[in-house]
Amino acid sequence: MIVTASLERAALVGTITQLAMFVLGHFVPWVAANVFGFGSMMIAATAGYLYAREVALGYGRGALGGALAGSIGAALGLIFAFTLHDVDRMSVLVGSLSAVLTGAVGGVFGQLSTKTA
């Protein structure tokens, strides 16, 4: 049901991008104050989009894989930011849950952008 290699690639891209954003935000307070929330959701949606665009197996599978790809990267990035004391526990929970939704939406749009939609 889930194409593991594609999920690993999309989650890796999402994780690296999330980590880069949180490292930047650790040193640039403006990024932490203005980018963390929206940026994390946008990165999760992009990871979902990348997964679904690559596998092109339908909207349901694209949304499921997109939700996984987006939430893996966001959860790892948020846990990293928590260890840096840049976010609190509630932000990790809410951010991870919102990444599930935005990753799924990204997966739907990724499937929509394929020729086999």
pLDDT digits (tens, 9 = 90+) for 25-43: 999 999 999 999 999 999 9
Task: Answer whether residue 29 is part of any domain.
Answer: yes
- pLDDT surpassing 60 at residue 117: no
CA distances from 54 to 2, 69, 103 (A): 12, 12, 14
What's the mean pLDDT in 82-86? 96
Instruction: Indicate whether this model's pTM tops 0.85.
Output: yes
> Helices 4-27 and 59-83 meet at what angle, rounded to 10?
30
Q: What is the pLDDT of residue 116?
A: 63
Task: Answer whether residue 117 is part of any domain.
Answer: no
Q: Which amino acid is at 31?
A: V
Residue 5 token pair: 């290699």
Task: Answer whether residue 97 is part of any domain.
Answer: yes
Task: Answer whether residue 93 is part of any domain.
Answer: yes
Q: What is the pLDDT of residue 80?
A: 97
Q: What is the pLDDT of residue 115?
A: 74
Task: Answer whether residue 56 is part of any domain.
Answer: yes
- pLDDT surpassing 60 at residue 5: yes
The average confidence (pLDDT) of the chain is 95
The residue segments making up the domain with residue 38 are 4-112
Q: How confident is the model at residue 1 (pLDDT cuts 50, 70, 90)?
A: confident
Please say whether the beta carbons of 48 and 106 come within 8 A.
yes
Task: Answer whether residue 91 is part of any domain.
Answer: yes
Question: Distance from first CA to last CA of the chain, Å, rounded?
Answer: 17
CA atoms within 13 A of residue 69's CA, in its CB half-sphere: 42
Domains contained in the chain, number: 1
CA distances from 100 to 9, 50, 65 (A): 17, 15, 10
Task: Answer whether residue 102 is part of any domain.
Answer: yes
Task: Answer whether residue 51 is part of any domain.
Answer: yes
